[in-house]
C-alpha cells in the first residue's frame, strides 16, 4: 500500500499523485427533469461541518490520524468550504510582493518553511448515498490551498497542488459499506507556494466546495465545444469533441429560444481499441508517481450552422446544447446541458478583433474576495459584482491572478463580459529579489526544467476546465513572474490546444528572450505618453494595459486620458483597472464595533498594510465606491456631443444600434428640470449622426443644462428597463442684470471688535483674535470657530505613495498655525489689525495672515458684508516660489454638527475632483454630511464637490448657511464633512476618527487632482495642479438661511 511522503511536498516536481485528469466543467444529470432543475443525483455535497485539527507545522500534526481505528470525533468542528484563517485558526496575512515567510525563515525557491507552516487536518465521516452505491465513486475538491493529501479508510488516495483548479480522485477501490472515514491534510505552504505569491491575503484550507460524484456506465468525461464562424460570419463550424468512458450513443440537439437548429444521433466510444483504454475508460498508462490516470475515448462531431447569431459582451446571444447519452441498449445514461456562444476572436493585421471588429477592453482586474469568507465567494456576492460591472459599462474581467470558481465563467457567458482567464502563477517575490541582487537564478519558474511540468499542469488544468466558455477570449500564463522558457512553453500549450483564442503574458516586457510568449504587448501602469512612444517604435503587436489606473483609496484621476487613447491609437486596445474590490475583512475593534480590517490588523508580519485596498468597489457590502462614477462614463459605448440645439451621437458599440436604447433629452434651468423629451436615434455601430434637439435654445435669463442620455428599453439580467448606459451634457447661460444690494447696515467700531448689523443678521470681527468671530442669522449663532485660510487636504493613498506630505508639508503647517500675528514680532498684543473699508452699502474687513513657512509667506482674507446678510469672502495670496504647489486654496469653516444636511448645485452625485469629474452631471443634489465620508479603508481626502454654483448646510428645521459662487470667479470647490483634514489624516482606520462634533465646510478655488496612474510614485498631472506661478485670488459668498 502506497504511503504519503511529506518530504516530497518541498519538491516542485511532486505536485500530483493519483489525481484525475483535468476535464471540462460540464455537469451531468440522470435525466431531463433533473437538468431542468439544476440538481443532479450524480453529485453528493460534502460541504458542511468536518472534524478538524490545527498544527503550526508538520511536526506538530497527529501522526496516524487517518487510520480507521483512530477516532477523530472529539476534534474541533470546522466549516467546509472555508479558509482556516477565517475560522479562528492561524491569522489572515496580507502581503503583496514579499513572501509571507521572509525574515522568519531563510529558505530558497522550492524549500518550505519548517518552523511555522500550518497544517490543517480534516476528517469527514460519511456513508455513501443509496443512489451511488455499486458505482464508481469520485471526490472533487474544487479548491484547496495550497497542497492536499487524501486518505480514505486509512489508505492513501493521492496528493495535489494548485490552489485554484479542481483536485479530483477516484475512491472506488477504497470505499466500503457503512461509515467511511475521509481524511485530508492541507498544507499552507508547499514548493508550489513560490509560484502563488499573488497580491492577496495568504489563506489556506479547503475553501471551495467538496462533493462526491459518480458516473453512469457510459459517461462523457470531457467535453470540448467550438462554435467558430468563418470569415464571412454567415456560417459557422460547430464542433463537439467528447472523451467518453464506455460505449453508446448520443442524441445532440442545438436550439435557440426553443427553435431547433440541428438534431442528430451519434455513436460514442467506437475507437476504444486504439486509445490504450479498457472499455470502462481506465487508462493502462501510469504517471511517474505510479498512480493510475483516467482518460476517455475521443470522438469528434461537427456541423455547419448557417447565419449564426453571434455572441458578444454587447449582445450575449447563447444557444442551448443538450446531449442525451445512451448505452448500447438504448437506456438513458446522462443528460448534459451546455450553453454555446458563436463568436470569432482573432488577430487581424496586428489588431485583436471580435466577429470582425476591433475590440476595446474596458476591463477590470478582479480578485475573488469576500470580507466575510475570504476567497470563498458566495453566488449572491458574485452576482452583485457582475451586476455592478455591467451597470457601469465594464465589459471585461481579468481573473487576477488565478482561475476563479467555475460559476463566474457561466455568468460572464450569460451577462456578456469578456474574460482573460489567468493561470495560477505569480512569483513576484523571487523576481523582486533577483532585481535587487541581479542574480536571476533565484527567479522561478524562469528556465528551470524542474518547474516546467508544474507550470504546464496548471495551464492545462485551467484550459481543460474552462475551455467551453465563449466569454473567455484570452488565456493568460500568469502574472509578474519575469520571463523564461517555462512560461513560453505554457503559452505554446495554450496555442496548441486552442487556436481559437489568443495568449497573454505581461512579464515578457521585462525579459524579451521569449517575446513570442504573449500575442499582445501587455504592460502595467505605463503613462499615456509611454504607450504612444512604445507604439511609435514598435507596433508589431496590439497593446493593452493588463493593469492601469491604480484605484487605491481616493484615486482614478485622469483615467480618461487612457480611454481617450483607444479612439486615436488603433493598436491600443484598452486595459484592466487595478482592481475591482477592496480586500478587507470584517473585524471588531476593542469596543465590539465592526470595521474593515486590512494588512497588519491581525498582528501578522510581514505585511503590506492597506495596499490590499485598491478597489473601485468597497469591501464589506461590495457597493460601488465614488470612483465608479468616472469608470462608467469613461467606459460608456455611446458619446453624446451636446450643444444648445443639437447632439452628435457617436456609437462606439461594435454590434448594437442606438435604437436599442431610449434616448432622453432633459433641459434644466438653474438645476431644476423643466422639460424632458424622447429623441429617436438610429446610429449604426461604429458610426455617428447629428440630431436636432426637440426644443430650441432658451432666451430667458438663467443657466441651462441640456442632458442627452441613453437608457435600456428592456430588462436585462443586470439592470431594469430605464437604466442609464451613457450621457452627455452641455451648459449655457443667458445673462441677467445683477441688482446691487441697497439694504441698510450699521457698523460698530470698538477696541477689540468690529460689529456689522443688518435687519436679520449680525457679524462680529475680532481684532484681538484675528478673524470673523461671529455670524448670527435670525438671532442664532452660526459659526463655531473663526474661519481660516486652508491649504491642506488629508493625504490620499496616492499622495502617500508619491510623498506629497513630505514635499508639501509646509502647507499643512500653514493651515494649522496660520495667524494674524507676525511670529517675527512680539507675541503679545492685538497683532495685525484688520483693514476696514466702509462703502455706501457694504463694509469690507480684511485680515493679513502670516504663514509659518520657510521662507515666510502671507495671505489676505477679506470679508465684504452687505445689508442683506451676504458676506463676499476673498482669499488672496502672492506666491513664494520656493514653496511650490499647494494641495488646496480656500477657506475652512466649523459649524455645529446639527447642521448635518447638505445640498448643492454642482457636479454630482458622487465626489468629484479636478482630474476625476468627467462622469459627473451638473445638477442639484443632497445628502447627509456624514455620507460624504467615503468608506476608504484608511481615512483620507474625500467628499469634494467640483464646479459648485451654490451649496447649503442646514439642520432639521432647514436653518443653516448658504454658500454661493462669486460670479466673477465662477464655480467653486465645496466640501462638507464631519471632520477636519487633520483629523482625517491622523486616523489609520475609520473607527479612529473622533466623535462627530462639527460640520466642517471647506470652500475653495480648487484642489489638486487626486492622480492614480499608480499609487507608489505617480504624481498629480501638471494640468490638475493649482497654478501657483502667479498671484492667486478666490471669492465666494455666504449667507444665513
d(CA 439, CA 447): 14
d(CA 181, CA 177): 11
Which residues partner with 866 through β-bridges? 842
Contacts with 302 (C-beta within 8 Å, 6 or more apart), sequence order = 237, 238, 239, 240
Q: Could you tell me which of 161, 591, 114, 643 has the C-alpha nearest to residue 402?
A: 161
Tell me which residue has cell 528572450.
513
d(CA 323, CA 511): 46
Tell me which residue has cell 482556516.
84
**What secondary structure, in 3-state letters, does 893-916 show?**
EEEECCCCEEEEEEEECCCCECCE
Burial of 752-790, coded b for 16+ CB within 10 Å and e otherwise, reads eebebbbeebbbbbbbeebbbbebbbeeeebbeebbbbb
Q: Which of 489, 547, 941, 985 is catalytic?
A: 547
**Which stretch of DSSP H or E encloses residue 302?**
strand 297-306
Biggest alpha carbon–alpha carbon distance for the chain:
111
Q: Show the cell assigned to 1008.
A: 489638486
- 992 a catalytic residue: no
How many alpha carbons lie under 13 Å from residue 751 in its C-beta half-sphere? Answer: 2
Contacts with 829 (C-beta within 8 Å, 6 or more apart), sequence order = 821
Q: At what angle do helices 485-497 and 449-466 cross, to 10 degrees?
A: 30
Q: What's 310's DSSP letter?
A: B
Q: Show the cell assigned to 423.
A: 493561470
**Which stretch of DSSP H or E encloses residue 923?**
strand 921-928
Q: Could you tell me which of 136, 126, 132 has the C-alpha nearest to residue 80?
A: 126
Q: How far is CA 674 from CA 487, 698, 998, in A?
A: 61, 11, 36
- 547 a catalytic residue: yes
Which residues partner with 662 through β-bridges? 711
Q: Show the cell assigned to 813.
A: 503647517
Q: What's 751's DSSP letter?
A: S
Contacts with 353 (C-beta within 8 Å, 6 or more apart), sequence order = 344, 345, 346, 347, 359
* φ/ψ bin of 742: left (φ > 0), alpha (ψ from -120 to 50), beta (otherwise): alpha
How many alpha carbons lie under 13 Å from residue 1025 in its C-beta half-sphere? Answer: 13
Strand, helix or coil for residue 563: helix
Radius of gyration of the chain (CA): 33
Q: What's 308's DSSP letter?
A: P
d(CA 477, CA 457): 12
**What secondary structure, in 3-state letters, does 621-636 show?**
CCCECCHHHHHHHHCC
Strand, helix or coil for residue 339: strand
d(CA 39, CA 16): 30
CA angle at 227 for the pair 223 and 228, rounded to the nearest 5°: 135
**Which stretch of DSSP H or E encloses residue 43?**
strand 43-45
d(CA 188, CA 55): 11
Q: Are 954 and 921 in contact (CB under 8 A)?
A: no
855 cis-preceded (ω within 30 degrees of 0): yes
Q: Which of 480, 489, 911, 983 is catalytic?
A: 480
Burial of 620-656, coded b for 16+ CB within 10 Å and e otherwise, reads bebebbbbbbbbbbbbbbbbbebeeeebbbbbbbbbb
If one counts every other C-beta atom within 10 angstroms of the C-beta of residue 659, the result is 13
Residues annotated as catalytic (active site), given as ranges: 480, 547
Amino acid at each position: 500500500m502506497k504511503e504519503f511522503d511529506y518530504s516530497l511536498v518541498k519538491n516542485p516536481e511532486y505536485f500530483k499523485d493519483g489525481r484525475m485528469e483535468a476535464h471540462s466543467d460540464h455537469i451531468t444529470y440522470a435525466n431531463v427533469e433533473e437538468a431542468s432543475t439544476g440538481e443532479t443525483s450524480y453529485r453528493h455535497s460534502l460541504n458542511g461541518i468536518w472534524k478538524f485539527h490545527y498544527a503550526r507545522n508538520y511536526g506538530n500534526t497527529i501522526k496516524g490520524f487517518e487510520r480507521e481505528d483512530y477516532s477523530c470525533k472529539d476534534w474541533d468542528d470546522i466549516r467546509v468550504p472555508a479558509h482556516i484563517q477565517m475560522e479562528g485558526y492561524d491569522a489572515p496575512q496580507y502581503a503583496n510582493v514579499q513572501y509571507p515567510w521572509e525574515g522568519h525563515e531563510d529558505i530558497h525557491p522550492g524549500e518550505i518553511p519548517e518552523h511555522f507552516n500550518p497544517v490543517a487536518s480534516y476528517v469527514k465521516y460519511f456513508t455513501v448515498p443509496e443512489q451511488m452505491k455499486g458505482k464508481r465513486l469520485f471526490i472533487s475538491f474544487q479548491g484547496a490551498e495550497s497542497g492536499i493529501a487524501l486518505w480514505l479508510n486509512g489508505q492513501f488516495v493521492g496528493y495535489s497542488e494548485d490552489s485554484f483548479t479542481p483536485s479530483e480522485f477516484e475512491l472506488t477501490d477504497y470505499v466500503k459499506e457503512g461509515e467511511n472515514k475521509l481524511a485530508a491534510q492541507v498544507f499552507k505552504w508547499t514548493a508550489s507556494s513560490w509560484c502563488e505569491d499573488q497580491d492577496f491575503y495568504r489563506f489556506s484550507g479547503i475553501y471551495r466546495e467538496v462533493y462526491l460524484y459518480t458516473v453512469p456506465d457510459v459517461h462523457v468525461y470531457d467535453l470540448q465545444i467550438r462554435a467558430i464562424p468563418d470569415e464571412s460570419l454567415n456560417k459557422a463550424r460547430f464542433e463537439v469533441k467528447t472523451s467518453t468512458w464506455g460505449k453508446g450513443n448520443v442524441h445532440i440537439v442545438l436550439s435557440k429560444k426553443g427553435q431547433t437548429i440541428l438534431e442528430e444521433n451519434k455513436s460514442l466510444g467506437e475507437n476504444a481499441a486504439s486509445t490504450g483504454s479498457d472499455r470502462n475508460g481506465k487508462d493502462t498508462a501510469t504517471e511517474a508517481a505510479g498512480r493510475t490516470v483516467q482518460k476517455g475515448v475521443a470522438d469528434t462531431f461537427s456541423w455547419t450552422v448557417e447565419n449564426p447569431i453571434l455572441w458578444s459582451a454587447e449582445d450575449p446571444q447563447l444557444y442551448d446544447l443538450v446531449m442525451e447519452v445512451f448505452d448500447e441498449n438504448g437506456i438513458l445514461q446522462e443528460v448534459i446541458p451546455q450553453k454555446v456562444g458563436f463568436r470569432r476572436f482573432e488577430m487581424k493585421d496586428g489588431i485583436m478583433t471580435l466577429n470582425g471588429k476591433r475590440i476595446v477592453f474596458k476591463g477590470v482586474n478582479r480578485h475573488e474576495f469576500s470580507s466575510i469568507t475570504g476567497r470563498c465567494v458566495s453566488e449572491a456576492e458574485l452576482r452583485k459584482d457582475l451586476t455592478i460591472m455591467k451597470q457601469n459599462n465594464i465589459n471585461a474581467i481579468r481573473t487576477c491572478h488565478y482561475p476563479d470558481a467555475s460559476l463566474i465563467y457561466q455568468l460572464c457567458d450569460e451577462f456578456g463580459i469578456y474574460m482573460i482567464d489567468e493561470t495560477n502563477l505569480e512569483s513576484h517575490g523571487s523576481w523582486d529579489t533577483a532585481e535587487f541582487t541581479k542574480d536571476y537564478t533565484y527567479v522561478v519558474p524562469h528556465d528551470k526544467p524542474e518547474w516546467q511540468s508544474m507550470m504546464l499542469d496548471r495551464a492545462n488544468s485551467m484550459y481543460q476546465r474552462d475551455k467551453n466558455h465563449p466569454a473567455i477570449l484570452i488565456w493568460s500564463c500568469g502574472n509578474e513572474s519575469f520571463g523564461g522558457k517555462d512560461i513560453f512553453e505554457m503559452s505554446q500549450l495554450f496555442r496548441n490546444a486552442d487556436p481559437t483564442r489568443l495568449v497573454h503574458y505581461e512579464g515578457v516586457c521585462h525579459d524579451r528572450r521569449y517575446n513570442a510568449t504573449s500575442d499582445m504587448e501587455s504592460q502595467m501602469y505605463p503613462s499615456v505618453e509611454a504607450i504612444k512612444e512604445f507604439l511609435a517604435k514598435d507596433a508589431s503587436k496590439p497593446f493593452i494595459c493588463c493593469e492601469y489606473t491604480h484605484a487605491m483609496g481616493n484615486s482614478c484621476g485622469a483615467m480618461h486620458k487612457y480611454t481617450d487613447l483607444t479612439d486615436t491609437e488603433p493598436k491600443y486596445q484598452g486595459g484592466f483597472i487595478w482592481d475591482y474590490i477592496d480586500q478587507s475583512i470584517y473585524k471588531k475593534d476593542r469596543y465590539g464595533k465592526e470595521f474593515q480590517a486590512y494588512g497588519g490588523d491581525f498582528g501578522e508580519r510581514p505585511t503590506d498594510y492597506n495596499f490590499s485596498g485598491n478597489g473601485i468597489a468597497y469591501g464589506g457590502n461590495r457597493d460601488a465606491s465614488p470612483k465608479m462614477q468616472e469608470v462608467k462614463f469613461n467606459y460608456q459605448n455611446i458619446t453624446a456631443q451636446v450643444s444648445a440645439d443639437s447632439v452628435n451621437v457617436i456609437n462606439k458599440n461594435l454590434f448594437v444600434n442606438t435604437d436599442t436604447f431610449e434616448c432622453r433629452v432633459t433641459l434644466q434651468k438653474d438645476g431644476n428640470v423643466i422639460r424632458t423629451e424622447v429623441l429617436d436615434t438610429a446610429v449604426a455601430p461604429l458610426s455617428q449622426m447629428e440630431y436636432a434637439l426637440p426644443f430650441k435654445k432658451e432666451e430667458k435669463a438663467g443657466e441651462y443644462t441640456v442632458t442627452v442620455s441613453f437608457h435600456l428599453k428592456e430588462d436585462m439580467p443586470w439592470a431594469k428597463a430605464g437604466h442609464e448606459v451613457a450621457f452627455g451634457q452641455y451648459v449655457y447661460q443667458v445673462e441677467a442684470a445683477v441688482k446691487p444690494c441697497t439694504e441698510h447696515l450699521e457698523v460698530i467700531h470698538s477696541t477689540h471688535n468690529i460689529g456689522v448689523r443688518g435687519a436679520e443678521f449680525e457679524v462680529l470681527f475680532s481684532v484681538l483674535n484675528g478673524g470673523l468671530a461671529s455670524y448670527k442669522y435670525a438671532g442664532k449663532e452660526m459659526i463655531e470657530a473663526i474661519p481660516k485660510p486652508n491649504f491642506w487636504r488629508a493625504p490620499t493613498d496616492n499622495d502617500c505613495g508619491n510623498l506629497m506630505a513630505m514635499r508639501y508639508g509646509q502647507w499643512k503647517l500653514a493651515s494649522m498655525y496660520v495667524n494674524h500675528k507676525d511670529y517675527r514680532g512680539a507675541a503679545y498684543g492685538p497683532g495685525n489689525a484688520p483693514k476696514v473699508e466702509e462703502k455706501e452699502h457694504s463694509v469690507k474687513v480684511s485680515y493679513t495672515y502670516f504663514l509659518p513657512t520657510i521662507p515666510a509667506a502671507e495671505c489676505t482674507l477679506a470679508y465684504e458684508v452687505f445689508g442683506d446678510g451676504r458676506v463676499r469672502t476673498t482669499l488672496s495670496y502672492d506666491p513664494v516660489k520656493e514653496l511650490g504647489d499647494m494641495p488646496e486654496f480656500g477657506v475652512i469653516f466649523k459649524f455645529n454638527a446639527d447642521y448635518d444636511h447638505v445640498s448643492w448645485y454642482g457636479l454630482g452625485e458622487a465626489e468629484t475632483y479636478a482630474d476625476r469629474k468627467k462622469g459627473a452631471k451638473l445638477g442639484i443634489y443632497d445628502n447627509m454630511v456624514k455620507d460624504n465620508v467615503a468608506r476608504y479603508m484608511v481615512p483620507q481626502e474625500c467628499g469634494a464637490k467640483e464646479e459648485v454654483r451654490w451649496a447649503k448646510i442646514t439642520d432639521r428645521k432647514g436653518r443653516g448657511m448658504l454658500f454661493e459662487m462669486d460670479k466673477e470667479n465662477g464655480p467653486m470647490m465645496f466640501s462638507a464633512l464631519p471632520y477636519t483634514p487633520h483629523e482625517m489624516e491622523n486616523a489609520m482606520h475609520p473607527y479612529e476618527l473622533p466623535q462627530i462634533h462639527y460640520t466642517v465646510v471647506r470652500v475653495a478655488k480648487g484642489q489638486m487632482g487626486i492622480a492614480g496612474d499608480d499609487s507608489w510614485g505617480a504624481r498629480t498631472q501638471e494640468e490638475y495642479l493649482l497654478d501657483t506661478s502667479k498671484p492667486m485670488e478666490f471669492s465666494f459668498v455666504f449667507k444665513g438661511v
